[in-house]
Amino acid sequence: MRLISKLVFVLSLITSCGVHAHAVVTHNSLALKPVPVNQASQVELSFNSKVELDLSEIHLVSAGDKMQVIEAVPGDKPGKVLLNLPALMPGEYAIKLKVFAADGHLSEDLLRFFVKQPQ
Amino acid sequence: MEGIADYLDSLIGGIDLTFYSIAIGGLLWGWLILKPWEDETRFNNALLEKTVALIQFGSKALIFTQLSKIGLKIWLMSVTLGKSPFPAFFHTVQFNAGIARAASAAVLFYYVKTALSKHLRSEQRWLTANAILLPLVVSAAWLVHGASRLEDRGLLMSITVIHQIAAAAWVGGIFQLLAIWRLKKRNLVGVELWPVVLKRFSVLGVGAVVVLLLTGTPLAWYYIRTFQGFIGAGYGNLLMVKIMMMGLALGFAWLNRQAVVEFFESRSLYTLTAKVPYYIEAETLVLLTILFTAASLASQPPSMDIPSLTATWQEVLGMFEPRLPRYTSPSHEALLAGEPGRVAIVGQVPSEAATAWSDYNHNISGIFLTTMSFFAMLSYSARFHRWARFWPVGFMLLGVFLFFRSDAETWPLGPIGFWDSTFNNGEVLQHRIATFLVFGLGWMEIKARIAKEPGMLPFVFPLLAAFGGMMLLAHSHVGFEPKTAFLIQVGHTLMGVFSLILACGRWLELKLDAPGKNIAGFISVFALFQIGIVLMFYREPLY
């Protein structure tokens, strides 16, 4: 049994149990309020859990996967976060989130969006 | 090092639950099952010392696991965010509740070591030790999934903690039974104790199952809500797997209970001593897998939070639809050419070559396994046994195949170095371990089958298969496409369940007498065949 116990121990060290995200964005303002062209704006996010903003990192991703850190501030309710976006040219963008949820999961999420000239 | 930190952080949840169960379940075992203060002649000191030693081990291991969890979290944040997480981390619930939990476990360990172990038959000491559980349980409540919820937090935390205690009573009791069986084999306790503890435990076991169902059902309802959420999202899928494994564990529990009932009617010890201990060992494999799956479940976003990202039942069934396996692979150049577009965040272009490459890998692996299961079936016939018993060589060949094909962007076929890819990408690390396990599985099983006195070597195969199953249940193609990731996950989790059945079947084949061993052996090989079939028809979604 000693061989088995040692094996169990070693194997328990090399098995994994998933690394999916827990904190996910349940609502965002991007669909209802498109990001304006060449004008600083604010995006509102609602998470499914409490998040620790001091331990989170949020990037704006533009063409060529260029990353730019954007400022995030707490909203008026727990789980709500406001992002301050700089003035953006028309094109495809994404908001890349690395968020520390209050239950201890460091979660990643991605929101893709377009900035379009008004028709 | 981000890959390793991420990987270790995710696996420690299952280890933590295991030690939590050993400590808490052991205390409940002593308090509710043994009650050593009632009859001083029934349980000897060897048994009580072993019981308390297990509790002591569980609480000590829990201290280290909890502190390691905090350390890993700090490491993960440092490497992921590229900055120090201090002082912000000191103010998080994770840190404060984690430290409180480690401290509670330390108090429990100290009390068990200095007070309970010296007065094994004192009801007061057992009661106090169980009372010390309270702060441990309360601090643990702040570390569960429900603690971060925005609504019904207190209710969810309470239900989850009761669910955990019921699971701990079951798992901890099983560890205690295994310890008593070992004592019996060394003649440190009498054989007459075995039916007594089994009978008493069956009552506690039934109670634990009832509580698990009473608490698990509302939690599942709260976090899932819809049929689509149950069928088409990672959370629902892992819960389904948990239910399937729970059914398996209950099957073993039912066999044990039947054996106890039969004993008290016939007074024959045969089933209780020649079958039940091995059913319990197999049940332990299943329960440990459930704990690791539970930890994995806690890191999934609840289905109710991602209704727009869940798959339909037609899409899920489509993943298992029989098709002609892909037997041609795109070239390595075509694969690499499509990779920048596939992994791009902005301007992403799905790569048909990557999907075809993955399909080929899975389908060919399926052909390997179904062929091996065919030879495994033949090996049971005396006519073919001589050469068909070498069927595990297939695992070694499969290991070589996977080494070259699993991660084409890395060494030896791709430009990313071996160590760089292994330590910086959790998925590549899992693939490397799986490859190593598969190769090792074949090598050890061949050695076990040709050796005249293999000793414990034949048991390595079912253990590796069980842990391979755990890895499959945890296999994660993390990305930013939850629906795609889920559709990939759904096949892997089903294979994980079959791997566990394969492991339990083989374990029992090695342990039981005929005809039980033949039935178990057939079930084991059939599970291998099923894994092969799932892989042969696997089709990765285009992304």
Could you give the C-alpha distances from B185 to A52, B22, B150, B274, B513, in angstroms and in order? 53, 22, 52, 12, 18
Cβ within 8 Å, pair A49-B150: yes
Cβ within 8 Å, pair A63-B347: yes
Residue B470 has pLDDT above 50, yes or no: yes
Cβ within 8 Å, pair A49-B295: no
B272 in Cβ contact with B201 (< 8 Å): no
Confidence of residue B476 (pLDDT cuts 50, 70, 90): low
Could you give the C-alpha distances from A10 to B15, B283, B458, B463, in angstroms and in order? 12, 20, 17, 11
Q: Which residues pair with A47 in a beta bridge?
A: A25
Residue B229 has pLDDT above 70, yes or no: yes
Q: What would the two tokens of residue B175 be?
A: 């560890």
In this structure, the dihedral spanned by the alpha carbons of residues B29, B31, B34 and B39, taken in order and rounded to 10 degrees, is 180
Confidence of residue B3 (pLDDT cuts 50, 70, 90): low
Confidence of residue B531 (pLDDT cuts 50, 70, 90): very high
Q: Could you tell me which chain B residue has the CA closest to the CA of A17?
A: B474
List the single residue in A14, A20, A64 with the smallest CB-CB distance to B301. A20
Cβ within 8 Å, pair A16-B302: no
Residue B8 has pLDDT above 90, yes or no: no
Q: Is A58 on the interface with B (CB under 8 A)?
A: no
Q: Could you tell me which chain A residue has the CA closest to the CA of B153?
A: A49
**What is the pLDDT, as a whole number, of residue A47?**
93
Cβ within 8 Å, pair A93-B11: no
Cβ within 8 Å, pair A23-B148: yes
Question: Residues 6 or more apart from B365 whose CB is under 8 A from it?
Answer: B398, B401, B402, B535
In this structure, the dihedral spanned by the alpha carbons of residues B180, B185, B186 and B191, taken in order and rounded to 10 degrees, is 70
Give φ, ψ of A42 to 5 degrees. -130, 135
Question: Residues 6 or more apart from B352 whose CB is under 8 A from it?
Answer: B330, B338, B542
Give φ, ψ of B159 to 5 degrees. -60, -40
In A, residues 76-105, which contact B (CB 8 Å cutoff)?
Answer: 77-79, 92-94, 96, 98, 100-105
Confidence of residue A7 (pLDDT cuts 50, 70, 90): very low
**What is the interface size between A and B, counted as CB pairs within 8 Å?**
173
Cβ within 8 Å, pair A102-B92: yes
Percentage of chain B beyond pLDDT 90 is: 74
B3 in Cβ contact with B422 (< 8 Å): yes
Q: Is A17 on the interface with B (CB under 8 A)?
A: yes
Cβ within 8 Å, pair B470-A52: no
Q: What is the pLDDT of residues B150-200, one digit of tens each?
A: 899 999 999 999 999 999 999 999 999 999 999 999 999 999 999 999 999
- Which of B299, B304, B486, B506 is the mutation pick for testing A, counting most A CBs within 10 A? B299
Cβ within 8 Å, pair A4-B301: no
- Which of A16, A81, A95, A113 is the mutation pick for testing B, counting most B CBs within 10 A? A16
**What is the pLDDT, as a whole number, of residue B42?**
87
Cβ within 8 Å, pair B306-A78: no
| Overall average pLDDT of the B322-340 stretch | 92
Q: What is the pLDDT of residues B54-81, one digit of tens each?
A: 999 999 999 999 999 999 999 988 988 8
Q: Which of B99, B291, B1, B218 is nearest to A104 (CA)?
A: B99
Confidence of residue B474 (pLDDT cuts 50, 70, 90): low
Q: Name the one residue in this structure whose structure tokens are 């006195």.
A: B453
Confidence of residue B296 (pLDDT cuts 50, 70, 90): confident
